Structure 1
């Protein structure tokens, strides 16, 4: 039984940099990965999807080019080339990440499935068929999450797609039905609609992106429907079936009325759940909730001393940047003797629909629930000079501010480059800059950020 100072289970966006940094700090470290280095982000998430979205965006330029006085011949989708570009980028990013691990002195990389024997002992079923037993003083769990398959009659008998398997398609679906109207489903829906698929989205809530304010949801719905997506809310799927020719039939209730929808492909995008089933956490005593989410405190410590959980497996916001920040908190606390916690850290995110939805801080709905003394500023993109010049006038900027302190409490930027605009306001929030300072600030002309002057000018009305 081999002993290490630290074992990291899972080579995602928290586990990989943590393993490297611990090894460089002189800790004898082992990184265990069952599948691929890089986690969801590199292999099944950010890198491949945003690469495909860029190809879909190029098709969109064809539609707006005429408004800009440019005539373009009817574009042709070369799906094999699009997918090859995606694969090449993923392979390159993954290879770079693995090379970084393998070249780190003091760091051992094992490919296999890890499970607990006790609170400091790990069994690894290696992918080559062998087994290895390890012990460690510190153990870090970064096993991520996987697609939730809803309890729908017939769903497991059809060839459904997940956010992972859809990335392996060899041709554009004729009719793609997406179960779930949130971030993953909307990105794939708009992307494949632009590639030429008929797309239908089925959302059980009364609106898509239901965690956002109603005006954000309504605006995004209108944008997507104008592009040709069919969006049904308040839906309840009774059953699904697939015939011998591969045609899928969905019996669904929409606003109390039963419908039959036939399609070629179904993408399940109703949420994700933590990868804890194979860990045998009962052997080490680490507590989980009823969904299998590992429970941690604000320092990412589990209830068992010297076992931590990072990234999606611990629940909370399932974003790459949050997982990476988890690593920095744990590493700095252990090695640099800091006293960092997850309290009050910003949780920015960007939905890569087109236009993008950049979000940070609280929504207007949340401000109401908290009974805050707040104001709201809204600026449509069609009055933003830069947006008019580029022909990207869909969406709006929205900010929730504290009426007394004039601090920014939250923003939603549904706009071209919405994530970048949001990041400007996030920096203001972190630095305590008031909306009044931004209102009178000097920004380069003509940029999207310059429109923040006009956004906060709305509060003077």
Structure 2
């Protein structure tokens, strides 16, 4: 059966549903395709479920720390992972159901369930239905990457998706990969009661961030009993006596890591391999991403790529901004571009790490004349009052223009406090502007003007 629309949207991740809402409100007819769960990675296997479980892990950790707050000890307790998962599942289900209801009841939007494949630059097939439109928006997302490590096909392993379905705590969880996914799951399961080992090829955590950030995050994890196996080269897998074993080559400790469960957290790959791209005249790059211009247009007129599949962000917030860029350019006749947005991100270990703009290492490497301000969380009253004093606030400022270059916050409330710096930087405000602000006491944020008031010259020679 053939169907004709003004637009086709493929994938119900962060960008797709909002775009459908804007287009239909503007009078467009939309064919919407989703082959599995509405909400994409964020709702189903990413932000929503992991942060729900991190909240449970935080509660368990706080209980164990009761005496630090002048309270009687909570005593020994065992976490029932099935109950934690049930809470997470209820939150996910509610979010997914709300989104699905919105789309299926949206006037002007027809939802198709199945896998969409190109037949031509303007037509796609979903099962027996042939869908035609002059505008096609690919929002197909991504999935955990499974690198071809030696022995990986010889043993069971978990991914960031499948680990969410576990209902019994691993005795010893081995995590290969120390990106955001690996670090968050490491602390989560350690706080729920598992022994945890992280195996990472890089000689330190977070190789794309500053060394002081990496050291602070490592301290957070090791202080809770998580084992770090860094500088692990020649990683290979084996199944010995029914248990997964990770063989590594480390200068300090070449011994293998044996555990009850293995989690692969080694990046993600876009879901572009089953779209029959060639029939539309499209070609993905070597990693599977669809190249796009500043307005998210692919190399084929009338086809856009949004979200994780375009390689221009791979965050929920960048995917949503992709929708905003496309909608503004198409419907409002504004010129919004990918390069307008600032590089911002966070890793939700506890306390979290958040950043905006350039790192200290990038400023040094560029030879930019700069000033730096830094304050440990031990000197932030709100952190002391909460009993959470790990980490620091760090800001970087251009020494000649006074413009904000970047900031990193490792510490309690850092994922929220960073936003005042993000907003100021986006508005192209200066350090002087930040110093003049009056923030609410007692908060973590109130020390940010103070940090901007304690700037010192940064030696820009590469160190």
TM range (shorter): over 0.9
- The question of whether the paired residues in 2 share the 8 Å contact of 1:190 and 1:353 is answered with yes
Q: Tell me, yes or no, if the aligned pair for 1:205 and 1:235 is still in contact at 8 Å.
A: yes
Aligned to 1:265, which of 255, 261, 264? 261
Which residue number corresponds to residue 221 of structure 1?
A: 218
Q: Confirm or deny that 1:391 pairs with 2:384.
A: no
Where do 4+ consecutive residues of structure 1 move more than 3 Å?
none
Structure-2 separation of matches of 1:397 and 1:167: 32
Map of 2:54 onto structure 1: 53
Task: Pick the aligned partner of 2:443 from 421, 431, 447.
Answer: 447
Structure 1: 5+ residue stretches without partners? 126-130
Q: Decide which moves more: 39-48 or 201-210.
A: 201-210
- Residues of 2 paired with 1:336 and 1:246: CA distance? 60
Give, in angstroms, the shift of residue 256 of structure 1.
7.2
Q: Quick check: 1:290 aligned with 2:291?
A: no
Q: What's the counterpart of residue 461 of structure 2?
A: none
Question: How far 1:240 moved relative to its partner?
Answer: 1.1
For residues 257-315 of structure 1, give each alpha carbon's deviation from its aligned partner in whole angstroms, at most 9, with x where no partner exists. Answer: 53222111111111111111100101111132111110000000001000000000001
Distance 2:279 2:51 in 1: 39
Aligned-partner SS, 1:279: coil
| TM superposition shift of 1:369 | 2.0
TM-score by length of 2: 0.96
Is contact 2:66–2:74 with CA below 8 Å preserved after alignment? no
Q: What is residue 81 of structure 1 aligned with on the other side?
A: 83
- Distance in structure 1 (CA, Å) of the matches to 2:312 and 2:30: 27
Give the corresponding residue for 2:41: 40
Counterparts of 1:452 and 1:410 in 2: how far apart (Å)? Answer: 13
Give the structure 2 partner of residue 128 of structure 1: none
- Superposition map of 1:173-184 within 5 A: 173-184=170-181
CA RMSD, Structure 1 to Structure 2 (Å): 1.4
Partner of 1:62: 63
Contact map agreement 2:5 2:31 (CA 8 A) in 1:
yes
1:109 aligns with 2:111: yes
Tell me how far apart the structure 2 counterparts of residues 64 and 429 of structure 1 sit (CA, whole Å). 38
Q: What is the SS of the residue equivalent to 1:200? A: strand
| Stretch of structure 1 that moved more, 361-370 or 253-262 | 253-262
Match of 1:353 in 2: 349
**TM-score after normalising by structure 1:** 0.96
**Which 10-residue stretch deviates more, 334-343 or 162-171?**
334-343
Given that 1:361 and 1:410 are in contact with CA atoms closer than 8 Å, whether structure 2 keeps it comes out as: yes
Q: Which residue pairs with 2:92 in the alignment? A: 90
Number of aligned residue pairs: give it. 455
Q: Are positions 1:141 and 2:142 aligned together?
A: no
- Distance change (3 Å), C-alpha of 1:65 and 1:406: farther
Match of 1:199? 196
SS of the equivalent of 1:326 reads helix
Q: Distance in 2 between matches of 1:415 and 1:341?
A: 32
How far, CA to CA, are the matches of 1:157 and 1:97 in structure 2? 39
Structure 1 Cα separation of the partners of residues 121 and 185 of structure 2: 41
User: Per-residue CA shift, 1:356-380, capped at 9, x if unaligned?
Assistant: 0011111011112222111111100
Q: How does 1:206-285 map to 2 (within 5 A)?
A: 206-243=203-240, 246-255=242-251, 258-285=254-281
Q: Please name the residue that 1:15 is paired with.
A: 16
CA contact (8 A) 2:118 2:276 kept: yes
The answer to whether the 8 Å contact 2:31/2:131 transfers is no
1:305 matches 2:307: no
Q: CA separation of 1:135/1:176 partners in 2, compared to 1, >3 Å: closer, same or farther?
A: same
Deviations 1:371-423 (A, max 9, x none): 21111111000011111111111100011111112121111100111111111
What is the alpha-carbon distance in structure 2 between the residues aligned to residue 238 and residue 358 of structure 1?
30
In 2, distance between residues paired with 1:158 and 1:460? 53
**Residue 78 of structure 2 contacts residue 193 of structure 2 at CA under 8 Å; is this kept in 1?**
no
Output the CA distance in 2 between the equivalents of 1:445 and 1:418.
16
- Rounded to whole Å, the distance in 1 between the matches of 2:161 and 2:338 is 29
Would the alpha carbon gap of residues 454 and 199 (structure 1) be closer, same or farther in structure 2, given more than 3 Å must change? same
